Structure 1
Amino acid sequence: MTCLFVQIRCRPGTAYEVAAQIVLREIHSELYSTSGDFDLMLKLYVPNGEDIGVFINNNLLNIDAIERTYTMQTFKAF
Structure 2
Amino acid sequence: MQALFVQIKCDLGKSYEVAAAIADKEISSEIYSTAGQWDLLVKFYIEDGIDIGHFVNEQVHSVAGIRDTLTIMTFRAF
Does the TM-score normalized on the shorter chain lie above 0.5?
Answer: yes
AA aligned opposite 2:76 = K
In structure 2, runs of 5+ residues without a counterpart are: none
CA offsets, 1:6-52, max 9 Å, x none?
A: 10000000001001100010011110000000000000111111100
* Structure 1 stretches of 4+ moved >2 Å: none
Measured in 2, the distance between the counterparts of 1:17 and 1:70 equals 19
Total equivalences in the alignment: 78
In structure 1, runs of 5+ residues without a counterpart are: none
Structure 2 equivalent of residue 47 of structure 1: 47
TM normalised by structure 2 equals 0.96
Alpha-carbon offset, residue 64 of structure 1: 2.1
- The CA RMSD measured in Å over matched residues stands at 0.7
Measured in 1, the distance between the counterparts of 2:75 and 2:10 equals 27
Measured in 1, the distance between the counterparts of 2:65 and 2:57 equals 14
Measured in 1, the distance between the counterparts of 2:28 and 2:63 equals 14
Work out the percentage of aligned pairs sharing the same amino acid.
Answer: 50
